[in-house]
Amino acid sequence: MSAVCRTLLMLAFAVASEHVSCQSFYYVEPGVASCPAAPAPTTAAPKAVPRGVPMSGSISVACGFDKGSYTVTLNSTDPGATFSPKTFLVNFGRIVGSGVFAITFSTVGVQSVSATITPNMGSPAVRGHFVSPANQFKVENP
């Protein structure tokens, strides 16, 4: 199955399933007009998600990253969480690939997901960061 077919299948599954939607990250950079405004943090209780079930998410870049190559790495407070993929390459403002990922939580309790940015090959550090309206999840047994 081609990568495009797998991505489309993952997206279709995410839309069709109530429990699959996980999180979207948006890159924001202070003082850059082309960057989206940071979403307001949610005050809602963490979203309940089932342990062991892949949840979809995405990263989005609409500005910044224009001075080189960068690796975006996804992390979780759940030490047993798995990501597919765990890293993304951003070259001169564009994500290589779809930006779609899946995370499978393995530890019951409140967990969070974050994204870190590492410059590649001498590229200058970016001034912004990734934000998400909600980054905490209450992982429960299915």
Confidence (pTM) = 0.81
- The domain total for the chain is 1
Query: Per residue in 94-125, pLDDT tens?
Result: 999 999 999 999 999 999 999 999 999 999 99
Q: Which residue in this structure is represented by tokens 């939607």?
A: 21
Residue 23, domain CATH: 2.60.40
Model confidence pLDDT, tens digit, residues 52-103: 999 999 999 999 899 999 999 999 999 999 999 999 999 999 999 999 999 9
Dist CA 60 CA 29 (whole Å): 13
Angstrom distance (rounded) from CA 132 to CA 20: 17
- The helix (run of H) or strand (run of E) holding residue 131 is strand 129-131
Write the pLDDT tens digit of every residue in 3-37: 433 333 343 333 333 434 568 899 998 888 888 88
What is the domain range of residue 118? Answer: 3-140
